Structure 1
C-alpha cells in the first residue's frame, strides 16, 4: 500500500517551511504593508471628508447669513423707495388739488358773474316779456 518514506517526508516538510518563509518575506509582508497603507489612506481621506463636510456646513451658514443680510438690505431699500414714491405722489396730488381748487374758484366766480349778468339781462327784459304776455292774452 502506501509506504511512508521518512526522508521524503522530511524533505517535503523542509521545502514547505522554506516556501512559507520565502513567500512570507516576498509576498505576504509587502501585501499586508500595502493593505495597511491603503487602510490608513482611506481613514485619512474619510477624516478629510468629514472636515470638508464641516467646512461645507460652515460655508452654508455663512451663505445663509449673507443672503439674510442682503434680503434685509433689499427690503430697506425697497421701503425707502416706496416711501419716496409715496411722498412724491402725495406732493403731486396736493399740487393737483390746489390747482383744481384754484380752477374751481375761478369757475365758480365766472359762473356767478354769468348768473348775475343773465339775471340782470332778464330783469332788463321783463318789461318786454310783460308786453309779450299781455299781447298773447289779449289775442286769446
Structure 2
C-alpha cells in the first residue's frame, strides 16, 4: 500500500534542511536582529524618559524657587508701596489739619472781632435801650 521510497525521503529531508537554512539566514536572523534592536531602542527611550523625569523635577523645583522669590519680591514691593501710600496720606492729613487749624484760628479771631463789634455796638446803644425801658415802665 504505502511504499516508502528512500530516495524521495532523503531528497525531502535535504530540501527541508535547505529550506530551514535559507529561512534562518534570510528571515529568522534579520527578524531576531530587528527585535533585539527594537528592545534596545525601547530600553534607551525608557532611560531617556527616566532622565527627563529627573530634568523635569529639577526644572520644576527651579521654577518653584523662582515663583517663591517673585512672591517675596512682590510682598516686599507691596509693603513698600503701602508704606509710601501711608506716608503720603499722613502728610496730606497733616497738611489738612494745619489748614483746618489755621482756618479755625482765623474763624475764632473773626468771631472775637464780631463779638467786640457787637459788644461795642450794644454799649453804644445802651442809653437808647435805657430810655426805651424807662418809657415803657412809665407807661405802665
Residue correspondence of structure 1 range 87-106 to structure 2 within 5 A: 87-106=87-106
1:83 is aligned to 83
Could you tell me how far 1:133 is from its partner in structure 2?
A: 2.4
Could you tell me how far 1:11 is from its partner in structure 2?
A: 1.3
Structure 2 counterpart SS, 1:125? helix
Give the number of aligned pairs. Answer: 140
Aligned CA RMSD, in angstroms, stands at 1.4
Could you tell me how far 1:16 is from its partner in structure 2?
A: 0.6
- The CA distance in 2 between the partners of 1:65 and 1:18, in whole Å, is 69
Could you tell me how far 1:89 is from its partner in structure 2?
A: 1.2
1:65 is aligned to 65
Could you tell me how far 1:61 is from its partner in structure 2?
A: 0.8
Structure 2 counterpart SS, 1:47? helix
Q: Deviations over 1:62-120 (max 9, x none)?
A: 01101110111111111111111111111111121112112111211110121122112
* TM-score (norm: length of structure 2): 0.92
1:117 is aligned to 117
2:107 is aligned to 107
* TM-score (norm: length of structure 1): 0.92
- The CA distance in 2 between the partners of 1:9 and 1:133, in whole Å, is 168
Q: Deviations over 1:18-62 (max 9, x none)?
A: 110111011100110011011101110111111112111111110
- The CA distance in 2 between the partners of 1:105 and 1:14, in whole Å, is 131
- Identify unmatched segments of 5+ residues in structure 1: none
1:47 is aligned to 47
